[in-house]
């Protein structure tokens, strides 16, 4: 079977960052080496900690004529099935510092809240989770099962965040948010330090190979920023960094284009729910603005198809459970390889070692099954 076949893999826009100027020292001012190292030393001691697999998509790399495609499989992250487990739960531990009286709270599209709820449960803390009307029942239920009070708010993610801040201020709850704003930078930075554990594991897993390209999904940019910080901390070389977003919520792309934080109005929620965010977060933005080479945006069209090909072991030898937010890496890579101009511009060729982040498994099992069927 020819998986990558021309027109079938769509992208909407592709841009180059005119302000690109990667600077390791500057990046490590926003998240320090100490913060990155402390996150790894803490999380790697958690009971049930294990590095997630780094798989090879060998069938796809052969077809695209690339040297290697690595796929970091976060469907195996604890029992939460997403990289998000590294961030929220770690931040809960750091901010509560052993105080069992604290109630933690957060607003979430799903996976971050699950991490906070799980972190609170680990430490025996009370937890309040605010979700918008677009978050599925299954995702809400998953957080209730972890012992959290789940509060549904009318409107979108932003409305759930506003309500979370309001109630948390009134009740003296400790907000553990993955999004940063002007006076709220430490917790999101700790969350990102948690995510950077992925890069430490990858560096240990690839041994002496060097990564040439990294495709990073972005919602508010936390994961992408954390991985770039991981590059600055752990890698000797500087790979090309390509940020992926849904075309309905390409806020990092719009910001990279203009050189300053831009908001986009989300009129249609993407299937890639975790990435459907209208504005980059402040800490990630500082990191991303000069270190991202390119941005690509995608429609939802090929998500289900890519998930199915992962499940059938069509990209490599392993059957992979890849959720909606894990699929766009492979779609972007194929789309870039199918476009000669882009392929040449970002130098994707037979010497390339590409890293894709399989950031979640079937975190919403109902949705996963539905997308595979459709
Ligand atoms: C599975 C998954 N991948 C990627 C993202 C995007 O991460 P960020 O918002 O940190 O950019 C999210 C966000 O919730 C997510 O849940």
- In-domain check, residue 185: no
Average pLDDT over residues 285-307: 97
Percent of the chain's residues with pLDDT above 90: 88
Same-domain pairing of 236 and 366: yes
pLDDT of residue 6 exceeding 70, the answer is no
Average pLDDT over residues 316-325: 97
Give 34's contacts (C-beta < 8 A, 6+ positions apart): none
Give 42's contacts (C-beta < 8 A, 6+ positions apart): 90, 93, 94
Determine the distance separating the centroid of ligand 1 and the alpha carbon of 167, expressed in angstroms: 24
pLDDT of residue 62 exceeding 70, the answer is yes
Burial string for 326-340 (b: 16+ CB within 10 Å, else e) reads bbbbbbbbbbbbbbe
Domain CATH number, residue 112: 3.40.50.1100
Residues 29-43: tens digit of each pLDDT: 999 999 999 999 999
Same-domain pairing of 15 and 129: no
Given 177, 212, 242, the domain boundary residue is 177
Helices (H) and strands (E) in the chain, counts: 16, 11
pLDDT value at residue 181? 85
Same-domain pairing of 102 and 77: no
Same-domain pairing of 143 and 290: no
Same-domain pairing of 126 and 248: no
Given 146, 177, 208, the domain boundary residue is 177
pLDDT value at residue 311? 97
Residue nearest to atom 6 of ligand 1 (CA): 219
Overall number of domains in the chain: 2
- In-domain check, residue 364: yes
3-state helix, strand, coil in the chain (%, to 5): 45, 15, 40
Same-domain pairing of 58 and 168: no
pLDDT of residue 1 exceeding 60, the answer is no
Q: Across the strands, what pairs with 241?
A: 214
pLDDT value at residue 48? 92
Same-domain pairing of 263 and 122: no
Atom of ligand 1 nearest to the CA of 363: 1
- In-domain check, residue 55: yes
Residue nearest to atom 13 of ligand 1 (CA): 274
- In-domain check, residue 183: no
**Higher pLDDT, residue 180 or 166:** 166
- In-domain check, residue 358: yes
pLDDT value at residue 32? 98
Average pLDDT over residues 360-364: 93
Among the residue ranges 126-130, 273-277, 288-292, the one predicted with the least confidence is 273-277
Same-domain pairing of 214 and 326: yes
- In-domain check, residue 39: yes
Residues 247-279: tens digit of each pLDDT: 999 999 999 999 999 999 998 989 998 899 899
Same-domain pairing of 204 and 306: yes
Q: Pocket around ligand 1: residues whose beta carbon is below 6 Å from it? A: 82, 84, 109, 111-112, 217-224, 274-275, 277, 325, 359-360
Q: Across the strands, what pairs with 82?
A: 360
Q: Which of 76, 86, 109, 111 to mutate to test the pocket of ligand 1 (most atoms within 8 A of CB)?
A: 111
pLDDT value at residue 364? 87
Q: Which of 74, 107, 281, 325 to mutate to test the pocket of ligand 1 (most atoms within 8 A of CB)?
A: 325
Query: Residue 152 is part of which domain span?
Result: 88-177
- In-domain check, residue 186: no
**Does residue 242 sit in helix, strand or coil?**
strand
Q: What is the mean pLDDT of the chain?
A: 95
Is the C-alpha dihedral spanning 250, 251, 254, 256 positive or negative? negative
Same-domain pairing of 204 and 218: yes
Model pTM score: 0.96
- In-domain check, residue 170: yes
Determine the distance separating the centroid of ligand 1 and the alpha carbon of 350, expressed in angstroms: 30
Cα–Cα distance, 126 to 104 (Å, whole number): 6
Same-domain pairing of 224 and 361: yes
pLDDT value at residue 8? 81
Same-domain pairing of 218 and 322: yes
Percent of the chain's residues with pLDDT above 70: 99
Atom of ligand 1 nearest to the CA of 82: 1
pLDDT of residue 79 exceeding 70, the answer is yes
Given 133, 151, 177, the domain boundary residue is 177
pLDDT value at residue 2? 74
Cβ neighbours, 10 Å, residue 75? 22
Determine the distance separating the centroid of ligand 1 and the alpha carbon of 273, expressed in angstroms: 8
Atom of ligand 1 nearest to the CA of 226: 10
């Amino acid at each position: 079977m020819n998986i990558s076949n021309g027109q079938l893999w769509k992208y909407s826009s592709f841009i180059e960052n005119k302000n690109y100027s990667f600077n390791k020292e500057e990046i490590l001012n926003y998240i320090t080496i100490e913060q990155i190292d402390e996150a790894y030393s803490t999380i790697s001691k958690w009971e049930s900690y294990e590095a997630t697999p780094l798989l090879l998509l060998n069938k796809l790399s052969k077809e695209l004529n690339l040297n290697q495609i690595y796929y970091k499989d976060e469907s195996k992250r604890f029992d939460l099935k997403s990289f998000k487990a590294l961030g929220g739960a770690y931040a809960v531990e750091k901010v509560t510092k052993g105080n069992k009286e604290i109630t933690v709270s957060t607003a979430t599209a799903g996976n971050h809240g699950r991490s906070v709820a799980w972190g609170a449960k680990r430490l025996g803390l009370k937890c309040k989770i605010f979700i918008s009307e677009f978050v599925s029942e299954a995702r809400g239920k998953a957080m209730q099962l972890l012992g959290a009070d789940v509060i549904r708010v009318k409107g979108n993610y932003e409305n759930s965040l506003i309500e979370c801040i309001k109630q948390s201020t009134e009740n003296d709850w400790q907000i553990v948010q993955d999004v940063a704003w002007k006076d709220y930078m430490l917790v999101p930075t700790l969350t990102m330090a948690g995510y950077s554990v992925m890069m430490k594991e990858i560096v240990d897993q690839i041994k002496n190979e060097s990564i040439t390209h990294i495709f990073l999904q972005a919602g508010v940019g936390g994961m992408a920023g954390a991985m770039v910080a991981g590059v600055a901390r752990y890698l000797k070389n500087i790979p090309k960094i390509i940020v992926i977003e849904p075309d309905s919520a390409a806020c990092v792309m719009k910001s990279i284009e203009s050189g300053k934080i831009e908001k986009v109005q989300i009129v249609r929620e993407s299937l890639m729910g975790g990435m459907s965010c209208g504005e980059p977060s402040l800490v990630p933005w500082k990191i991303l603005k000069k270190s991202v080479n390119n941005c690509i945006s995608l429609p939802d069209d090929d998500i289900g198809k890519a998930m199915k090909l992962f499940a059938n072991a069509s990209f490599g030898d392993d059957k992979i459970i890849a959720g909606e937010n894990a699929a766009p890496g492979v779609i972007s890579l194929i789309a870039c390889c199918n476009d000669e101009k882009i392929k040449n511009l970002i130098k994707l060729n037979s010497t390339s070692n590409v890293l894709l982040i399989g950031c979640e498994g079937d975190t919403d099992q109902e949705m996963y099954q539905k997308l595979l069927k459709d």
